Structure 1
Amino acid sequence: RHVLNPAVGFSFHPDFSQPQWNTFKTVQYTAEGATQPYSIFNGSTYGGPSPGKFGGINFSLGNTLEMKVFSNKDTVTQTKKIPILEALNLSGSYNLAVDSLNWSVITLSGRTLLLDKVNINFGSTFDPYISDTLGVRLNQFEWDMNHRLARLTNANISVGTSFQSGKTIGPPITAEQEDYIVSSQNEYENFNIPWNLTLDYSLFLQRVNTISNEDSITFTQTLNIRAGFNLSKNWRINGSTSFDFVNREFPTASLEIYRDLHCWEMSLQWVPFGIRPSYSFVLRVKASVLQDLKIPKRNNWNQF
């Protein structure tokens, strides 16, 4: 089954870079006196308005694709739905308030789930206009110059999955054995170690123009790994790292060790290498009313 969800809307906002709005200032960035505008809301929590006047039409087209297969678990219809594409969205806009570069970039994004375990997300942007060697858009269509509807500016795809331990299958214990274990907890330890593992692979490519006016594609390719396990009911260890396939290195890694001390708790966080190596050790009371009662020890990246 293929479902289409088209949407069309209209929006308007004035040019907030005009002086009467008092939201943009100018700053000198070269010794020769060259200036450029900047928003006074840069770096704020909610951001700020964008420069330029917009009054135009927004459009989007959403797609979902799924199929039905036979299933013995469903006793009513004996079928189940399997998503092929959970979402495939196309969006853009046309600005009626300007006299050039009316079309925005076209955004394509989607996601799907394979085997109920592997999440796949992808996206890309296309520009219907050509650009100069500095990447500035020019008021000429790609179709007129290169006989193509739009040029790919960037694309990304991420694939992720996770694993975790299941229930331990073993011979059942009797009621007498269970009572003895409960009454002798100091003599027994549960070695059923819960664990989890998460893998995330991401690929990002960007097409830029060079001085010779030829397209150049840059890649970013990483694999993120997160894992954790419980040595016992009171001990927990978590770790994470990533691998950069382009530079063939591990940019950073982190290790966390946690110990439940009944009324107290202890945690150790260690970043052994990377841009900001550091460690942090904290021993604190678990009660929230006594959260300020703690013994911290830290060593930041600039103290190594």
Structure 2
Amino acid sequence: MTNPAADRTIVPIYDFMNRLPGGLMLIPLVLGSIVGTFAMPALEIGSFTTALFRDSALALIALLIFATGTHITAKTSGPVLAHAGVLLLTKSLIPATLVVALGLVVGVDGVAGVSILALLVVVDNSNGGLWLAFTGRYGDKRDRGAYMASAINDGPFLSMVFLGVSGLASIPGTLLLAAVVPFLLGMLVGNLDPKFREVLRPTPSIVIPFFAFALGTGIDLGNVVRGGASGLLVGVIAAPITGLFVYLGYKLILRRGAKSGIGFAAGTTAGNAIATPAIVGAADPTFAPYVETATAQVAAAVLVTAVVAPTLAAWVLRREGGLTVVDEDGVVLEDEDVRL
């Protein structure tokens, strides 16, 4: 017989994280950045400790992508691809085009101490983990499947395309393929045996806090501080502007109505974008003088957009009556407006 006292919650950690928009990822991300900045040796003792808390991000994100894929059937793949296409267009292609156009006018120095390199890296990608965490609560399988856009805009690929780096053609297409293979395999397994959908249903709530912490350990708060006001300001501006583009795509193209506010959750900068300025600078020496400052500004933008984007998305959803917890089919499980 179960002892009720033994199951009593002493500190409601999970519920607290879930009350914050994107909190299931945001809080571990911040904690990971603190530990990574001030106590990294504690995570380098090896074995399971290092494997889980420092090196697990890619593997756990891949598992989450696989689990997401199992919920995509042949019947729903069309809507999923439509959502991914709109997300890629509105979060990456349109903002990147605008930044490049600005660069043609003002030059690569950019504006107000923020180079075109930094601006481009901040706006042309998105934090796929946070997107999955947010849509895992408020979206359905179409939104979660749209993660495929993050698989394409992740890393330096789009930045190098839009900057016209001559060595772009040498980037192997297998890298893009490798990013979507787990999703495609998940789709295959889920369609062959639907039981896997049920087995993997709790995957998001299990893996998100752990890969978020591991991603956070790669964010040096010293770089965030060095990024200073300029990096924070770029993040504060980029989050609502790029999120607005996705919101309009959800509202006008996808016709998602009250759920269109989910689009603002895409207004983020991915954690691994911090490495993009150095990669671009190495590929094209023209941008080398901007690498150090751009890296610091991008690091600051990563953290601030991780806070601003989900908070803004939750506010818009609440304002438009869409702040409801739904399952993968869009069936309302809980009304956040009532609970909060």
Structure having the higher Rg: 1
TM-score over 0.5 (shorter chain)? no
Q: TM-score, normalised by structure 1?
A: 0.20
Higher relative contact order (CA 8 A, sep 6+): 2
Structure with the higher fraction of residues in strand conformation: 1
Q: TM-score, normalised by structure 2?
A: 0.18
